[in-house]
């Protein structure tokens, strides 16, 4: 238990030792949302709002999580000798799930200021549940992809190229759910899709545990 | 694959089946269905491409897993050539489907779940080719490629079940369209369709064995 705590605090230290990567990603989110505000202000329908929200979220995740292994490639041999890969992966998954959730928090906060939630009648709790599940799916899928992309020389391009096709299923389910919720759906009508989403997350995490020991070795 | 490389009886079978498919597919009686009319014959050329693609990709995943277990680069060569041939079949399937859709649906690309699934599958395997191209070391290329291959395949399979839930398919036999299942697929079509699937799939494996034999020879020559 103590080792997971140590891994988490190590990730936290690496991110906050320098202030500008975190500030950079927040500024990235702000700039994207502000451009959307200037373009879409006043003419936005709930369905368009939904698409913009998820597109901003997707690009934030790809930019934010690309660093999860890439920055640490120099240290990978050290980690490999120090801890079993499964443990390292648990640490990474935990940290980047939390990191993803805080990105979601920042995005939602800024959206609330500039392009507020478009529907009064929609079930907000259900929307949040779907949002959290979608964000867990995105961050766990991208963590594994990042560990693959980190091995290459042009990792930032490959992160997008390898990541998009793999997270499309998660994204399709989450976006469809959230559109239905905005149009007034209740839990009964999206139950099936939510179950699919949860099982997809389970598949992604299980495959990560099977495959990470191979991709982490040098 | 290793058995297919060693033996050759199945190549005669492939030739017979493909010739039979081409002759029978164009000349044997086909049912008259609304909208589809004579384009129903595309069943013998378009659909087997997808079957072949799925078999080839499944084969490549099996060899990727074998590589991860044995670290034998020959398994990686087999896996890579199966992916190449699968991509070829995928492109042929997309083209034959788009030409067909242009006549029956009025446009080459609609928001059809099967079209989307195949486009995403193509994206995944193009990404795999790019990933392998960007790694220099043979063993690293093989290992990272195999990891991505297995990971992507495990996500692709659920996708094939998810997409149809989101929109209805325009494909024959789905969502009330006239199609080939149950009472529609008559025995004349079946007589050509099943041999066609087997024939085109075997043809794909034939292409893959030729390619991998060349690559394995080159690999052995490099070792000397």
What's the pLDDT at B182?
Answer: 46
- pLDDT at residue B183 above 50? no
Are A148 and A171 in contact, with CB atoms under 8 Å apart? no
Angle at A21 between CA A18 and CA A22, to 5 degrees: 95
The token pair that represents A9 in the structure block: 């605090």
- Asked if B163 has any chain A CB less than 8 Å from its own CB, the reply is yes
Among B214, B207, B197, smallest CA distance to B88 is for B207
Is there a contact between A152 and B162 if contact means CB atoms under 8 Å apart?
A: no
Distance in angstroms (rounded) separating the CA atoms of residues B84 and B94: 15
Mean pLDDT of A102-114: 91
Is there a contact between B124 and A207 if contact means CB atoms under 8 Å apart?
A: no
Identity of the residue in B68, B148, B163 whose CB atom sits nearest the CB atom of A148: B148
Q: What's the gap in Å between the CA of B189 and the closest CA on chain A?
A: 34
The predicted-structure confidence for B150-178, as pLDDT tens digits, reads as follows: 998 988 888 877 777 666 666 765 555 55
- Could you tell me which residue, A194 or A122, shows the higher pLDDT? A194
- B125 confidence band (pLDDT: 50, 70, 90): very high
Mean pLDDT of A200-215: 90
Which phi-psi region, left, alpha or beta, contains residue A8 (left: φ > 0; alpha: ψ -120 to 50)?
Answer: alpha
Chosen from A149, A164, A166 to mutate, greatest number of chain B CBs within 10 A: A166
Is there a contact between A166 and B166 if contact means CB atoms under 8 Å apart?
A: no
Identity of the residue in B143, B147, B162 whose CB atom sits nearest the CB atom of A169: B162
What's the pLDDT at A130?
Answer: 92
Mean pLDDT of A65-87: 75
Q: Which of residues 137-156 of B touch A (CB under 8 A)?
A: 140, 143-144, 146-148, 150-152, 154-155
- Asked if A103 has any chain B CB less than 8 Å from its own CB, the reply is no
How many Cβ pairs closer than 8 A exist between chain A and B? 77
Distance in angstroms (rounded) separating the CA atoms of residues A171 and A186: 20
In the block, tokens 């066609």 appear at B196
Are B103 and B39 in contact, with CB atoms under 8 Å apart? yes
- Could you tell me which residue, A101 or B157, shows the higher pLDDT? A101
- pLDDT at residue B181 above 60? no
Is there a contact between A166 and B158 if contact means CB atoms under 8 Å apart?
A: no
Distance in angstroms (rounded) separating the CA atoms of residues A168 and A87: 27
- Asked if A202 has any chain B CB less than 8 Å from its own CB, the reply is no
- Asked if A201 has any chain B CB less than 8 Å from its own CB, the reply is no
What's the pLDDT at B174?
Answer: 59
Question: CB neighbours of B31 closer than 8 A, spacing ≥ 6?
Answer: B40, B184, B186, B188, B189
C-alpha separations of B38 from A151, B59, B164, B182 in Å: 51, 34, 27, 20
Angle at A110 between CA A113 and CA A183, to 5 degrees: 75
Is there a contact between B162 and A172 if contact means CB atoms under 8 Å apart?
A: yes
Average pLDDT, chain B: 84
Identity of the residue in B131, B158, B159 whose CB atom sits nearest the CB atom of A162: B131
Are A166 and B151 in contact, with CB atoms under 8 Å apart? yes
What's the pLDDT at B190?
Answer: 77
- pLDDT at residue B186 above 60? yes
- Could you tell me which residue, A134 or B185, shows the higher pLDDT? A134
Is there a contact between A207 and B143 if contact means CB atoms under 8 Å apart?
A: no
Identity of the residue in A161, A196, A203 whose CB atom sits nearest the CB atom of B127: A161
B68 to chain A: nearest residue by CA?
A: A214
Are A190 and A177 in contact, with CB atoms under 8 Å apart? yes
Q: Which of A34-48, A113-127, B130-144, B162-176 has the lowest mean pLDDT?
A: B162-176
B120 to chain A: nearest residue by CA?
A: A165
In the block, tokens 């930032």 appear at A156
Is there a contact between B166 and A203 if contact means CB atoms under 8 Å apart?
A: no
Q: Which residues of A touch B146 (CB under 8 A)?
A: 214
C-alpha separations of B84 from A19, B61, B89, B186 in Å: 45, 13, 9, 35
Is there a contact between B155 and A204 if contact means CB atoms under 8 Å apart?
A: yes
What's the pLDDT at A4?
Answer: 80
Percent of chain B with pLDDT over 90: 34
The predicted-structure confidence for B52-107, as pLDDT tens digits, reads as follows: 998 999 999 999 999 999 988 899 999 999 999 999 999 999 998 888 888 888 78
- pLDDT at residue A134 above 70? yes
Are B152 and A166 in contact, with CB atoms under 8 Å apart? yes
Q: What share of chain A is helix, strand, coil (3-state, %, to 5)?
A: 85, 0, 15
The predicted-structure confidence for A143-168, as pLDDT tens digits, reads as follows: 888 888 888 877 778 888 888 888 88
Q: The pTM is what?
A: 0.86
Is there a contact between A196 and B134 if contact means CB atoms under 8 Å apart?
A: no
Distance in angstroms (rounded) separating the CA atoms of residues A15 and A12: 5
Are A203 and B154 in contact, with CB atoms under 8 Å apart? yes
Average pLDDT, chain A: 85
Distance in angstroms (rounded) separating the CA atoms of residues B96 and B111: 17
Distance in angstroms (rounded) separating the CA atoms of residues B18 and B20: 5
Is there a contact between A166 and B155 if contact means CB atoms under 8 Å apart?
A: yes
Alpha-carbon Rg for chain B, nearest whole angstrom, is 19
Identity of the residue in A165, A176, A196 whose CB atom sits nearest the CB atom of B123: A165
What's the pLDDT at B136?
Answer: 84
- pLDDT at residue A66 above 80? no
């Amino acid at each position: 238990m103590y080792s997971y705590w140590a891994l988490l605090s190590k990730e936290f230290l690496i991110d906050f030792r320098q202030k500008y990567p975190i500030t950079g990603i927040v500024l990235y989110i702000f700039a994207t949302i502000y451009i959307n505000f200037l373009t879409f202000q006043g003419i936005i329908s709930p369905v368009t709002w939904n698409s913009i929200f998820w597109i901003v979220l997707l690009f934030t995740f790809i930019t934010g999580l690309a660093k999860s292994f890439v920055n640490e490639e120099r240290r990978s041999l050290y980690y490999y000798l120090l801890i079993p890969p499964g443990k390292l992966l648990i640490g990474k998954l935990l940290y980047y799930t939390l990191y993803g959730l805080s990105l979601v928090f920042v995005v939602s906060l800024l959206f609330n200021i500039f392009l507020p939630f478009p529907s009064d009648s929609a079930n907000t709790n259900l929307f949040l549940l779907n949002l959290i599940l979608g964000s867990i799916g995105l961050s766990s899928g991208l963590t594994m992809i990042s560990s693959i992309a980190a091995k290459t020389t042009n990792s930032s391009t490959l992160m997008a190229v390898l990541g998009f096709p793999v997270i499309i299923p998660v994204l399709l389910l989450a976006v469809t759910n959230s559109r239905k919720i905005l149009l007034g759906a209740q839990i009964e009508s999206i139950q099936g899709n939510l179950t699919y989403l949860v099982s997809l997350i389970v598949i992604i995490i299980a495959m990560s545990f099977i495959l990470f020991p191979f991709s982490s070795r040098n | 694959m290793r058995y297919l490389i060693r033996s050759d009886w199945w190549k005669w079978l492939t030739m017979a089946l493909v010739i039979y498919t081409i002759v029978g597919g164009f000349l044997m009686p086909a049912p008259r269905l609304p909208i589809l009319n004579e384009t129903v014959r595309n069943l013998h050329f378009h659909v087997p491409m997808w079957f072949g693609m799925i078999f080839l990709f499944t084969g490549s995943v099996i060899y990727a897993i074998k590589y991860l277990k044995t670290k034998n680069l020959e398994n990686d060569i087999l896996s890579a050539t199966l992916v190449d041939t699968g991509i070829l079949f995928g492109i042929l399937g997309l083209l034959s489907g788009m030409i067909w859709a242009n006549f029956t649906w009025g446009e080459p690309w609609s928001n059809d779940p099967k079209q989307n699934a195949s486009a995403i599958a193509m994206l995944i395997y193009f990404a795999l080719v790019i990933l392998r191209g960007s790694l220099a070391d043979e063993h690293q290329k093989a290992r990272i490629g195999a990891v991505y291959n297995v990971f992507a395949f495990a996500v692709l399979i659920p996708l094939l079940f998810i997409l149809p839930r989101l929109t209805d398919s325009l494909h024959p036999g789905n969502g009330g369209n006239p199609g080939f299942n149950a009472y529609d697929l008559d025995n004349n079509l079946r007589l050509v369709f099943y041999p066609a699937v087997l024939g085109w799939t075997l043809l794909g494996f034939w292409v893959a064995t030729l390619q991998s034999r060349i690559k394995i020879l080159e690999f052995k020559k490099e070792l000397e």
